[in-house]
A and B are shown apart, each in its own frame.
Chain A
Amino acid sequence: MYGFFGRMLVADATSRTCCMEEIPEGLYRKYLGGKGVGTYLLMERSPAGVDPLSPENPIIFSLGPISDTKIWGGCRFGVHTKSPQTGFYAESYSGGKLAEKMSRTGFDFFMITGASETPVYLEVTEEGGKFHDADHLWGLETYATEDALMEAHGGKTRCGAAVIGQAGENLVPFSIIANDYWRCAGRTGTGAVMGSKKVKGIVFISGQASRPTADPEAVEEFAKKTLVETRDLPATQNYKRYGTPQMVSVMNELGTLPSRYWHNGKFSGHDQINGQTMAALGARPKACARCYIACGKLMKFEDGPYAGLTIEGPEFETIMSLGSLLMIDSIGAIAHLNDLCDRLGMDTITAGNLIGMAMDGATRGLTPEPIAFGDIEAAEKILRQMAARTGMGATLAKGSRAAATEWAMEADAIHVKNLEPAAYDPRVLKGMGLAYATSPRGACHMRATIYKSEVSGKMAPDQIEGKAVEMIDYEDRLIIHDTFVLCRFYRDIYLWPELTKIIQITTGFDVNESDVREISHRVADLVRSFNLREGLIKADDWLPDRFFDEPLPETGAVITRADLEKMRSDYYRERGWDEDGIPRS
């Protein structure tokens, strides 16, 4: 078998024992790696209706056929489980340099089952897994946990670690799993699942395992060609110079930079928190392994209130959630709040949205304590409270839906399936409305990235006809990305022909483009089946009322219920699902 090791490590935290399982080649042919087989395993190993924070909910780390090969962009790993935040399918991906170390242990998947009674961490080597006591790590922030695991196991040239912070320990449902300090499986609360198992981290000891590819020469040639043809493209250079914060001022101009907890689409301080300002402050490109795009921006604050702070980021989404959404116009303050989220182990998008909801509620006296838009110190205090589940943060740590119920803000809260949206307002970018409504993990911007089509002028943001078909093409390609496991920012570099070629030269599978599309559809149906099994109904694929009823003041933009109804109906039909969103096959 090529492209895969065909092995999964199964680590049972209850008994603190580990074993290896073979993954048959037929499964890879049917679903590919990463999200494909990962979802199959989740479906098979989790009982229907499982409590996400119970020992019975497995958490699966995944790699794919390009992990630790010369294919550019193969620097990521996936995490698959049932989400404590949404109650539905959880998937989240992280970059950095950890995926290489994971792959060199000679496994494609790492599944943790059960739950320990006392804190543990898992050591993974080529020989298998071993649990260690982690009492000394419990209570530490993510950076310190990673440092401790690296030091105990030979340093960062030999090993890498995926860890949780205090938020994960305290089962905060939007907790992250972090690696390489600033890289995170950020969304849907996978860190809380680790916390529920009392697993503080996993350390991967790099061995001699080398992922076999079907045609190594073709892989090398493909990588060379990709580099030559795309490294100087404007898109590549923009990512290198400005990273994702290149979006800030453009989105502001379009009136789709969420501000004042989704009451505005423009923010007057946008030019203080954009990529150009970060570059002027000395932000430097930082790349993950196997990447020449270098979208990461390393910032070091030498003086001022945040002197001494070093961080990779903030990313565009965080600039929105901890910046414009909260009316904070200091890039230093956003970086500081981002750093705090990383250390405590919380998703910046959800955390920022929750603070925004509190600030919005406070303007009408709905919160137990006042908290004003733009108040950086109050935002910091709330973040610490959320991770520790104290004070007003204890309410917010329950998530948007529960907090909104407690504060009589049900009509105000912005979320889909209890996951809060990212920095694209669906009242302007209608396709993002469809994406947020139908994504299996809630209001997610990454499953389909239809915004790319809408902000590039390819398809008008207001266009409804044909939007579902356009979105499905993106979504299907990105499902293949997640089976590889490949970085999103290669989405315009590897189109269907390139994705097909990558499968051929890494796995040796005799597939054509049509076969690859079929695999993608199969995975999409499998994920949908998981969510249906866990109780998802058509009404869950919908947007918060405010997006229909509250026009953005700068542009008057809204999305209508008829717009979304039409796009959702088209989406179900084009996916081959019935009118209730149930796969026919």
Chain B
Amino acid sequence: MQITIRFPVSLDGTLPTEKVHDYPSGIRVSQVIEQLELPSGYFGMVLLNGRHTDTEQVLSDGDVLSLLPMVDGG
């Protein structure tokens, strides 16, 4: 099944990216994140189709997963 992975905000100088990936059905958000091998300390919140989601959520074909960097507030 096809999942769109978005990095809509970058704090490291790179441009925002969006790419469609193929994953086996039944895959969970946490498994996708693990496979992305993000740098330590990068990951903050994950949005599924624009809303906050639990990382144990099972994904469906056509889902859009947005990964946001860890931020610290003001």
Contacts and interface: CB of A to CB of B under 8 A. Distances in A.
Contact of A242 (B8, B11, B41): B11
Contacts of B71: 238, 246-247, 250, 455-456
Given A254-B68, A255-B50, A555-B50, A457 B43 contact: yes
Say what secondary structure dominates the interface of chain B: loop
A562 interface: no
B1 to A, nearest CB: 24
Given A253-B68, A255-B50, A555-B50, A244 B74 contact: yes
Nearest to A492: B72
Interface in A212-271: 233-235, 238-239, 241-247, 249-250, 253-255
A317 interface: yes
A554 B49 CA distance: 12
Q: Could you say which of B10, B13, B40, B74 has the most chain A C-beta atoms within 10 Å of its C-beta? A: B74
A456 B8 CA distance: 16
Interface string B17-57: 00000000000000000000000111111110011101100
A253 B70 contact: no
Interface residues of A, number: 36
A250 B45 CA distance: 9
Interface residues of B, number: 26
Given A233-B41, A455-B44, A457-B46, A250 B68 contact: yes
A116 to B, nearest CB: 37
Interface in A369-417: none
Contact of A234 (B10, B41, B50, B55): B41
Contacts of B10: 276
B74 A316 contact: yes
Interface string A536-554: 0000000000000000001
A254 B45 CA distance: 9
Contacts of A462: 52
Nearest to A423: B74
Nearest to B13: A276
B44 A457 contact: yes
A460 B54 CA distance: 8
Interface of B: 8-11, 13, 40-47, 50-52, 54-55, 66, 68-74
Given A238-B70, A315-B74, A457-B46, 17 more contacts: A234-B40, A235-B70, A238-B11, A238-B72, A239-B72, A244-B74, A250-B9, A253-B66, A276-B11, A316-B73, A316-B74, A455-B45, A456-B70, A457-B44, A492-B72, A555-B50, A555-B51
22 contacts: A234-B42, A235-B41, A235-B70, A238-B11, A238-B71, A239-B72, A243-B74, A247-B73, A253-B66, A255-B50, A275-B11, A315-B74, A316-B73, A423-B74, A455-B68, A456-B71, A457-B43, A457-B46, A460-B52, A462-B52, A492-B72, A555-B51
